[in-house]
A and B are shown apart, each in its own frame.
Chain A
Amino acid sequence: MAEPAATTQTPVRRAALDALGLTAAAPAGAQVTLRALADVCRLNLRLDAGIGAAVAALAAAGWTLPTTAGGVAKAADGRRALWLGPDEWLLLAPLDAREAMLSALGSALAGHHHALVDLTDNYAGIEIAGRPAADVLAKGCPLDLDERAFPSGRVAQSLLGKADMILERRPDGADGVPVYQVTVRRSFARYAWDWLADGALEFGLAVAV
């Protein structure tokens, strides 16, 4: 029996939306742009009762945790902490910061009762931008997306169609158009993408890769 050919074992990362084979498209008059977000590191952080000391330890390490419902705290280098619950946060960062973040957070939280879980590949991220972006989302999301109720820098967990969604309103785009970041479970990536693309059809859909 022949020996199997020697192969170089390198880990292969596939973002959840890679399977869709998306190609960039910008038809004339498109008002909504969808973008598949790869290379986002996502960590879930849970703390329990003595939250205060752990929050202070994290603040010293450069992570301010939002403590009001729906809050988003920004840190340096594009890192953000999203409020998910009274003792739960989602920490976002560029993917190449992942190892450094895990070790930095781990040492900052040493001695504090916590759970820090790497959920990078558990989620898929989609960015939807454009003046009618809220109208597209509102077709399947019961949240109040009015400017007064959901301005930039807010996050909420809700539904998109039948999929659980973490919806974050990002800073407006350069030309003042609203930008939202949709985070869904990886297995709902295609569902959420198709759902948003279908909802955006009437406004003209552009795809950025």
Chain B
Amino acid sequence: MMLIECPWCGPRDQSEFRCGGEAHIVRPTDSEGMSDAEWADYVFMRKNPKGIHHERWFHAHGCRRWFNMTRDTVSDRILAVYKVGETSPVGDGAAAEAGAEASK
């Protein structure tokens, strides 16, 4: 059992949540000029880091809100929980990614 701190509801059991995969993936603006390889990269290719990872999570059985989480994939420790559109306070370049997301 793992407790996850929902930004709205507070600490809740992991069974109430669903993971939505990597966070801060920015939808391309120049979609008509993209090659197949670039599309494939956007649609399918995801990081699979050993260590710090920024993820989207969904409080599926609670308030049904999406939020972001920074988690260490080695220890499963949750390093930060933050709302959509915010920047992870922990991290390795997440600021740049989140900035790109916010500016689109």
Contacts and interface: CB of A to CB of B under 8 A. Distances in A.
Interface of A: 69-70, 84-86, 88, 142-143, 156-159, 164
Contact of A158 (B1, B8, B62, B64): B62
Interface in B1-34: 1, 8-10, 12-13, 15-16
Interface string B56-83: 0000011111000000000000000000
B61 A85 contact: no
B18 to A, nearest CB: 12
B15 A157 contact: no
Summarize B's interface: helix, strand, loop or mixed: loop
A43 B7 CA distance: 25
A159 B15 contact: yes
A157 B61 CA distance: 7
A156 B62 contact: yes
Given A69-B8, A156-B9, A85 B16 contact: no
A159 B63 CA distance: 12
B61 A159 contact: yes
A139 B8 CA distance: 25
Summarize A's interface: helix, strand, loop or mixed: strand
Interface of B: 1, 8-10, 12-13, 15-16, 61-65
A143 B10 CA distance: 11
A164 B9 contact: no
B12 A158 contact: yes
Given A85-B63, A143-B12, 4 more contacts: A69-B10, A142-B1, A159-B15, A159-B61
A84 B64 CA distance: 9
6 contacts: A69-B10, A70-B9, A86-B65, A88-B63, A159-B15, A159-B61
A83 B48 CA distance: 37
A164 B64 CA distance: 11
A164 B61 contact: yes
Contacts of A86: 8, 63, 65
A71 to B, nearest CB: 12
A85 B65 contact: yes
B103 to A, nearest CB: 20
In the A-B complex, the 8 residue pairs with the closest CB atoms: A142-B13, A85-B63, A157-B62, A159-B61, A164-B61, A69-B9, A86-B8, A69-B8
